[in-house]
Amino acid sequence: MASLVFVTGGVVSSLGKGLSSAALAAILESRGLKVTLVKLDPYINVDPGTMSPFQHGEVYVTEDGAETDLDLGHYERFVRTRMSQLNNYTTGRIYNNVIAKERRGDYLGGTVQVIPHITDEIKESVKKAAEGYDVAMIEIGGTVGDIESLPFLEAIRQLGVEYGRDAMFIHLTLVPYIKAANETKTKPTQHSVKELRSIGIQPDVLLCRCENEISEEERAKIALFTNVPKKAVMSALDARHGIYEIPMLLLEEGLDDIVIERLGLEVTRDADLSDWEEVVDRMRHTQHEVTVAMVGKYVNHADAYKSLTEALHHGGLRSRTKVKILALESEDIEREGVSCLADADAILVPGGFGERGFEGKVEAIRHARENNIPYLGICFGMQAAVVEFARNRCGLEGANSTEIERDCAHPVIGLITEWLDASGNLEVRSEDSDLGGTMRLGAQECRLSEGSLARQLYGREVIRERHRHRYEFNNHYANVLEKNGMRLSGHSMDGTLVEIIELPEHPWFLACQFHPEFTSTPRDGHPLFTGFIEAALAEQKSAPAAEVASL
């Protein structure tokens, strides 16, 4: 039976529960324990798949195709465990499961209530996710005191009683510094723990988010008023050198020792964070710098492209290159032209949905193609690259995606049902469906063509990457695009779907239908992002020849 570590938050949101959970999991993993993580989200959406990136940030996709909270991306970047649909539950999903059981008659005509039916469903979900692991970290979204999170808090309170010494509670809270008074205030933390204790949960550890190290006096005061041992009241300072420093900071505080002692875990070795130290060293001591223009639709929201921005930074680690991301709204390019791309050493167009800003992406891609600027397109960025090439290189006037223009003259991108009938003939159909759960999702294999850039970067013939999209390359246009210089270098295993395109005559131009950012990690990087950043460095006009040659 796995030991359970529950992580809750108080005072304000966005304190870093997900990062703290992932960092602690990384330490425990380095000590020989098998660790998994679970995110319990209070919102009523069944999953974040139809939520706006402006509200929720990115939707992270797991191997098995679950659309999940972005914290699962942090989990996978910090630990070797791969997440699945078992690692993220929302209020909507829990209620959906319970209502489905009620409709089937599983409750034998009984009155279905929050307690015990909803809380039992939450508990069973946690237990199922924890099976086969030594430790399961359970993060509760939101903050203590929110109405939405009360069923989850009641469920973990019950689990705490059931598991006894095999469960513990870590509470992440804010200890603000009031500059005008030159004082650090412990009262918000006291009230947050009081709220937590009022529903029956006594924290075992307090992680105090603060600007300055908590003094011994303040630590003792917090311990006294919260009934938490002084040694378990810990400072959680901002990481000076990035989020991948957090495991080292928590190790210095001795958090792993407290968890192991409290749960009575048997460990095989001391913590070895040398790989994380190497990551931080490479991020701190860079030798080069490149600027990547990311032309997107949601760049004003910091979390909308979270995995992507992390993957770009990972891409620079091997060559000790600092990646400066120039975030540009594609609509600005539509209004002002491509002059804003003048300082870019490389251009990336990420995924997205809908017609807003599409033509700006197409113009950015044309600028990259015609000026030999390294280009990486992801999902929508591949589809836009196909449209641009069809229009401006193949002379297919009116070429477009049917997502953007339903009745376009040349639907080079469309729903597979729009261009492929049973005989393989082009057949445009009009189909309406719910937006949720209608996409190609999750990890699928792709075969790479011999001699292609993609094959060179990956170093193997068959790869496995994660998808999240509805629209596909229209195979009826394959011949005309290939005749004009485009290489279709990656296909689904049955050869039906185009997964990667390249321009061999260009120094570095590659676009893929899948999302490689979801499988990029700081310790391992990702072939596409590493190759992209090194191509940007090689093409950088100001880079000394000796430095370029050293790559």
Q: What is the pLDDT of residues 246-302, one digit of tens each?
A: 999 999 999 999 999 999 999 989 999 999 999 999 999 999 999 999 999 888 777
User: Burial letters for 109-132: b for 16+ Cβ neighbours within 10 Å, e otherwise?
Assistant: eeeeeeeebbbebbbebbbebbee
Which tokens hold the place of 57?
């940030």
Q: What is the mean pLDDT of the chain?
A: 91
186 contacts 218 by C-beta, under 8 angstroms: yes
pLDDT at 299: 82
What residues form DSSP beta bridges with 295?
328
Band (169; pLDDT cuts 50, 70, 90): very high
Listing DSSP states for 60-127 in one string gives EE-TT--EE-THHHHHHHHSSPPP-GGGEEEHHHHHHHHHHHHHHTTTTTPPP-IIIIIHHHHHHHHH
Catalytic residue among 465, 517, 526, 534: 517
- Is the pLDDT score of 198 beyond 50? yes
The Cα 7–Cα 151 span in angstroms is: 15
Mean pLDDT across 219-237: 94
Which residues, 6 or more positions from 352, have their beta carbon under 8 angstroms from its beta carbon? 296, 297, 298, 361, 379, 380
Query: Is the bond preceding residue 374 a cis peptide, omega within 30 degrees?
Result: no
DSSP state of 141: P
405-452 pLDDT per residue, tens: 999 999 999 988 775 653 444 443 334 334 444 578 999 999 999 999
Give the pLDDT of residue 11. 87
Interhelix angle for 150-163 vs 119-130, to 10°? 60
Q: What angle do the packed helices 17-30 and 71-78 form, to 10 degrees?
A: 20
Active site residue 517: yes
Burial of residue 97 (CB within 10 Å: 0-12, 13-18, 19+) is middle
pLDDT band of 54, cuts 50, 70, 90: low
Q: What is the pLDDT of residue 431?
A: 40
Q: How far apart are CA 34 and CA 267, in angstroms?
A: 10
CATH for 286-549? 3.40.50.880
Q: Is the pLDDT of residue 193 over 60?
A: yes
User: Residue 38 above 70 pLDDT?
Assistant: yes
pLDDT over 70, % of the chain: 94
Neighbours of 318 (CB within 10 A): 15
The CA-CA-CA angle for residues 279, 285, 291, to 5°, reads 90
Ranges of CATH 3.40.50.880 domains, the chain: 286-549
CA 502 – CA 453 distance, rounded (Å): 8
Give how far the C-alpha of residue 279 lies from the chain's centroid of Cα atoms, to the nearest Å.
Answer: 19
Does position 7 have pLDDT exceeding 60, yes or no? Answer: yes
What is the model's pLDDT at position 177? 87
Q: Please say whether the beta carbons of 349 and 385 come within 8 A.
A: yes
Place of tokens 């420093």: 245
How far apart, in whole angstroms, are the C-alpha atoms of residue 407 and residue 390? 16
Joined together, the tokens standing for residue 166 give 């095999």
* Band of residue 181 on the pLDDT scale cut at 50, 70, 90: confident
Query: Which residues are CB-contacts of 341 (< 8 A; sequence separation ≥ 6)?
Result: 293, 295, 328, 333, 347, 364, 367, 373
Choosing from 367, 491, 506, 515, the catalytic residue is 515
pLDDT of 549 over the 60 cut: no
pTM: predicted TM-score of the whole model, two decimal places: 0.92
- The DSSP bridge partners found for residue 238 are none
Mean pLDDT of 378-385: 96
Q: Of 208, 210, 379, 394, which is the active-site residue?
A: 379
Say whether 172 sits in a helix, a strand or coil.
Answer: strand
Phi, psi of 516 (to 5 degrees): -65, -20
Give the CATH number of domain 3-278: 3.40.50.300
Residue 223 burial by Cβ neighbours in a 10 Å radius (0-12, 13-18, 19+): middle
For 92, phi then psi, to 5°, come to: -60, -40
- pLDDT value at residue 418: 73
User: What is the reported pLDDT for 419?
Assistant: 59
Q: What pLDDT is stored for residue 544 in this prediction?
A: 47
Region 79-107 average pLDDT: 95
Residue 357 has what pLDDT?
A: 85
Q: Where in the chain are all domains bearing CATH 3.40.50.300?
A: 3-278
Q: What per-residue confidence (pLDDT) applies to 221?
A: 95
d(CA 475, CA 404): 18
For 431, other C-beta atoms within 10 Å of its C-beta total 8
